[in-house]
């Protein structure tokens, strides 16, 4: 019996190639916001892993614009008790932030992430920690996947306050739990990746963070097939007026919706919407003190069936071939087909294979023995959007060998 190895990486890298249609009334300008990095610094993380995470965070901030009127960053460690490495107002230049990350030391202890999230909520909105009012708030949580205390409730509190949550898991975290903890849609805000491959997702994650920190006008966040969340800066107080939100669908047969909100509101979630539909949203600040202009945003909900591949399985790993399978397999009603891209992690030529809708596996031949590859499976939808998922795969070294468990011991003559 031939020996073969099979391994599965559920999500090593999510590529959010699909973008929900969101058009703002104002043009995008330089990002401005408070960015908090929450790093697992506990004893569950090896010193080597922590050093690679530290390099990754330094890579993320290397090209961001820092300053009082731009981005500010803070770093909090997860351990037995949360620990602030530096506050938002401690460093005003990108180089200073990068240097502070580079010298951060691992704290060790238990992995009390829930406690650290409650602490992060205080830091993100505390002026004493250098946090600013009326700017976007972004949390980037880098974890090995485990926590000693509940994460869901404190993370939901952060999202309810308008914080955009990105999660990078370098371990074997629970996919469902982490998907619920990250901001929606998960394919844009949740990344599963090996600690040695963090640099691969850095450019995409940096762009997503920058998008989340554009100057706050009326914005649409967490766009799904049946709804989206709106966020806007505090323009009123509970005593100075109120807001009126209007939602107008492109489908004239669907009635316009209208919602009145108190003056201290800064977000609202529209639900029970139609998939793949354009909506015009207007925010009307009704102030009893001054005249405020309405704000507008156009949002297109996602198609309901555009879920994309959720799991990649690499099997029959041989010196010169790999078998690639994925789930779920989508039919021709919604999908034009798949394209599979494979290339060495250390650099080299890329291989691309086109497959029709309904397929969920293929074998790639002619590979190099003992080589690590990045495999990307992309579903192309009839709407023109694409959804992709990547995983790392390694070819076997040398010739194929027999399975040791299938080899029978040689017969020996009986003892005299």
Q: Tell me: pLDDT of 403 over 70.
A: no
Q: What is the pLDDT of residue 332?
A: 66
The span from the CA of 76 to the CA of 41, in Å, is 9
Q: What is the pLDDT of residue 84?
A: 93
Tell me whether residue 236 is in a domain: yes
Tell me whether residue 24 is in a domain: no
**How many domains are contained in the chain?**
3
Tell me whether residue 10 is in a domain: no
Q: What is the pLDDT of residues 259-274, one digit of tens each?
A: 999 999 988 999 999 8
Taken as a whole, the chain contains a residue count of 416
Tell me whether residue 85 is in a domain: yes
Structural domain ending residue among the three candidates 181, 213, 245: 213
Q: What is the pLDDT of residues 93-152, one digit of tens each?
A: 889 999 999 999 999 999 999 999 999 888 888 888 888 877 889 999 999 877 888 888
Q: Which domain, by its residues, includes 314?
A: 310-395
Q: What is the pLDDT of residue 7?
A: 33
Kindly report the CATH number assigned to the domain that includes residue 344: 2.60.40.10
Q: Across the chain, what does the average pLDDT equal?
A: 82
Q: What is the pLDDT of residue 29?
A: 58
Q: Tell me: pLDDT of 201 over 60.
A: yes
Q: Which tokens hold the place of 274? A: 């139609």
Q: Tell me: pLDDT of 212 over 80.
A: yes
- Could you give the angle at which helices 198-212 and 47-61 cross, rounded to 10 degrees? 40
**Claim to verify: residue 61 and residue 207 sit in the same structural domain:** yes
**Claim to verify: residue 335 and residue 239 sit in the same structural domain:** no
**Claim to verify: residue 90 and residue 147 sit in the same structural domain:** yes
Q: What is the pLDDT of residue 305?
A: 58
Percent above pLDDT 90 for the chain: 34
Q: What is the pLDDT of residues 342-369, one digit of tens each?
A: 988 877 788 889 998 888 899 999 999 9
Tell me whether residue 340 is in a domain: yes
Partners of residue 387 on adjacent β-strands? 379
Q: What is the pLDDT of residues 152-173, one digit of tens each?
A: 889 988 888 888 999 999 876 7
**Claim to verify: residue 318 and residue 170 sit in the same structural domain:** no
Q: What is the pLDDT of residue 291?
A: 83
Paired sense of beta strands 219-221 and 228-231, if any: antiparallel
**Claim to verify: residue 295 and residue 330 sit in the same structural domain:** no
The span from the CA of 89 to the CA of 129, in Å, is 7
**Claim to verify: residue 157 and residue 97 sit in the same structural domain:** yes
**Claim to verify: residue 45 and residue 159 sit in the same structural domain:** yes
> Lowest-pLDDT range, 108-112, 198-202, 300-304?
300-304
Q: Tell me: pLDDT of 176 over 50.
A: yes
Kindly report the CATH number assigned to the domain that includes residue 154: 3.40.50.410
Tell me whether residue 92 is in a domain: yes
**Claim to verify: residue 59 and residue 205 sit in the same structural domain:** yes
**Claim to verify: residue 254 and residue 153 sit in the same structural domain:** no
Q: What is the pLDDT of residue 56?
A: 94
pLDDT: which is higher, 172 or 208 = 208
Structural domain ending residue among the three candidates 197, 213, 229: 213
**Claim to verify: residue 61 and residue 162 sit in the same structural domain:** yes
Q: What is the pLDDT of residue 307?
A: 63
Q: What is the pLDDT of residue 416?
A: 44
Which range scores top for mean pLDDT: 65-69, 240-244, 343-347, 348-352? 240-244
Tell me whether residue 278 is in a domain: yes
Taking residues 266-290, report their average pLDDT. 90
Q: What is the pLDDT of residue 102?
A: 93
**Claim to verify: residue 198 and residue 278 sit in the same structural domain:** no
Q: Tell me: pLDDT of 376 over 70.
A: yes
Percent above pLDDT 70 for the chain: 85
């Amino acid at each position: 019996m031939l020996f073969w190895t099979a391994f599965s990486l559920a999500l090593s890298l999510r590529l959010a190639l699909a973008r929900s249609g969101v058009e703002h009334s104002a043009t995008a300008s330089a990002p401005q916001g408070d960015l908090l990095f929450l790093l697992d610094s506990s004893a569950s993380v090896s010193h080597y892993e922590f050093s690679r995470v530290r390099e990754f965070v330094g890579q993320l901030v290397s090209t961001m614009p820092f300053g009082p009127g731009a981005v500010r960053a803070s770093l909090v460690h997860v351990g037995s008790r949360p620990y602030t490495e530096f506050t938002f107002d401690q460093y005003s230049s990108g180089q200073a932030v990068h240097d502070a990350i580079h010298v951060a030391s691992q704290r060790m202890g238990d992995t009390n992430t829930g406690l650290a999230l409650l602490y992060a909520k205080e830091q993100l909105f505390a002026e004493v920690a250098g946090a600013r009012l009326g700017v976007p708030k972004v949390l980037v949580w880098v974890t090995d996947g485990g926590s000693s205390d509940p994460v869901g409730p404190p993370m939901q509190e952060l999202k309810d306050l308008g914080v955009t949550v990105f999660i990078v898991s370098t371990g074997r975290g629970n996919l469902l739990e982490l998907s619920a903890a990250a901001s929606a849609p998960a394919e844009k805000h949740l990344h599963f990746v090996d600690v040695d491959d963090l640099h691969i997702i850095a450019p995409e994650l940096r762009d997503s963070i920058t998008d989340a920190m554009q100057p706050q006008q009326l914005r649409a966040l967490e766009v799904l097939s049946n709804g989206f969340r709106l966020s806007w800066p505090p323009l009123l107080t509970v005593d100075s007026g109120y807001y009126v939100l209007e939602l107008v669908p492109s489908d004239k047969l669907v009635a316009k919706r209208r919602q009145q909100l108190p003056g201290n509101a800064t977000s609202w979630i529209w639900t029970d919407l139609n998939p793949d539909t354009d909506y015009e949203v207007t925010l009307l600040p009704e102030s009893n003190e001054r005249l405020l202009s309405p704000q507008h945003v156009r949002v297109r909900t996602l198609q309901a069936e555009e879920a994309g591949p959720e799991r990649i399985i690499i099997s029959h790993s041989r010196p010169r071939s790999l078998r690639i399978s994925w789930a779920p397999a989508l039919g021709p009603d919604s999908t034009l087909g798949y394209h599979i891209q494979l290339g060495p992690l250390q650099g080299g030529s890329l291989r691309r294979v086109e497959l029709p809708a309904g397929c969920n596996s293929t074998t790639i031949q002619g590979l190099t023995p003992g080589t690590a590859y990045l495999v990307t499976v992309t579903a192309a939808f009839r709407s023109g959007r694409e959804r992709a998922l990547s995983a790392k795969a390694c070819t076997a070294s040398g010739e194929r060998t027999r399975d040791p468990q299938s080899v029978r011991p040689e017969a020996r003559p009986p003892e005299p």
